[in-house]
Every structure is written in C-alpha cells, then in structure tokens.
Amino acid sequence: MRDPLVPFAPEGYPFVLIPTVAGLFLWLFGYHGVAAVLWAIGLFCLSFFRDPARTSDAGAHAILAPADGKVIAISPAPAALAAAGFPQQISIFMSPLNVHVNRAPIGGRVTEVRWSPGAKWPAFRDKASDLNEHAFVRLEGEAGSVAYKQIAGAVARRVVCDLAVGDQVQRGQRVGIIKFSSRVDLYLPPEAEVTVAVGQRCRAGVTVVAHFRHP
C-alpha cells in the first residue's frame, strides 16, 4: 500500500512553500503555464518529504532497514570499517520516489557521529560511499553494534543527521533525512546474519535486513 502524504518532514517546508507561493503570484500576473510548473514542483516535494509512521513487531535480535529503497549491494565493508568490527555492508539506494526519512536499524546508544563533506557522484556508484558528502553513525545495542552512513547523491544537496554522541535511540526511530536521491550503507558485525538479497525493496523501520545470531 502506498505511504500516505502525511505526516510531513519539516525539512521540506521551504521546498513546498516557495514554489507554491511563487506560483500563486505568477498566476495572478498572468503567467499561468509557469505557475502550473511551480505548483507541480511543490506537489512533488510534498510527496518527497512525506514522513509516514512506521512500526515493527520483529524480534529483539532483528536489524531493520535504515532507509526505504532497493538493496544494490551486499558486500565486504571497506578495510577501515572491517578493522573496527563491521566487515559486512548492505547498501540501499533511494530514488526520488522513495521516502527519504532514515530510521535507526537497532535501539541503543549513539557512540560516534561524524560528518564529512564531499563530491556529488551518483549514489549508486561504489565510490560515492567514500567520496560523497556523508554522515557516519555508530550504535551500540544490547544484542550488538551496527554503523551506517547517510550518503548524498548527484541530486541530493544535504545530509541531515539528528543524532549526537550519547543519545539513546529506539529501533525504528527517525534519525535524519537526505534531501533527494541518495543512499544509506549499513555496516554489520561478523556475527550478524544478512536476510535480504540484492534487488530487494526495503522500508525503513519495517524490513528486517539482518539478525544478530543468538548466543
């Protein structure tokens, strides 16, 4: 079932209000065609910044998708992350039609938050993970730890991370947003068992992408 248009992510208000108000003034001055285009842009942004409620009844050891979109890679993580205890990587690509609100894959404590400026390579390219603007977050939960990157794409112009070191988050909680097409890479410890496949569609805060193996 299609996600409803409400509730709405507050980051989207300028993108909706500016073309809508500008279109109103242009309509009054007789520029009906341009006004219609601006209203269409406003409606697209209204859809893009939707923030539907999400819940999951998955077990305590389940790791949920941090983003809506398609799994484009399940691969070994970069060497630095493997050395930090996260040798597995799941990459989820978000098209402009997906919900772009990101959600915590597990519940726990935020132990690391880093933001890095960068280029604007298409988000589906492998190099985007390291070279594009991104925010890196590490979470430590009772069953295990994970990390993820919010990665800007060729169209995306800003990564918004709502978390700070020391924050406590609930699994499925909203943790940020990436404006327009983008990608999220999820990094898993060796004891995590991946349950999705390349090409599978995910919903943030709902789809189980991996499990911590029971002791």
Residue from 63, 69, 132 nearest 101 by CA: 69
Cα separation, 105 vs 109, in Å, equals 12
Cα separation, 126 vs 124, in Å, equals 6
User: Of 129, 145, 181, 182, which is the active-site residue?
Assistant: 182
- Is 182 annotated as catalytic? yes
Copy the structure tokens of residue 81: 């992350």
Cα separation, 15 vs 176, in Å, equals 17
Bridge partners of 148, per DSSP, are 137, 186
Bridge partners of 110, per DSSP, are 139
Residue from 120, 116, 176 nearest 153 by CA: 120
Cα separation, 105 vs 25, in Å, equals 44
Residues 145 and 138: beta-carbon distance below 8 Å: yes
Copy the structure tokens of residue 127: 């190099």
Q: How many Cβ atoms from other residues are within 10 Å of residue 141's Cβ?
A: 19
Which residue has tokens 């073309």?
A: 19
Residues 191 and 144: beta-carbon distance below 8 Å: yes
Residues with catalytic function: 182
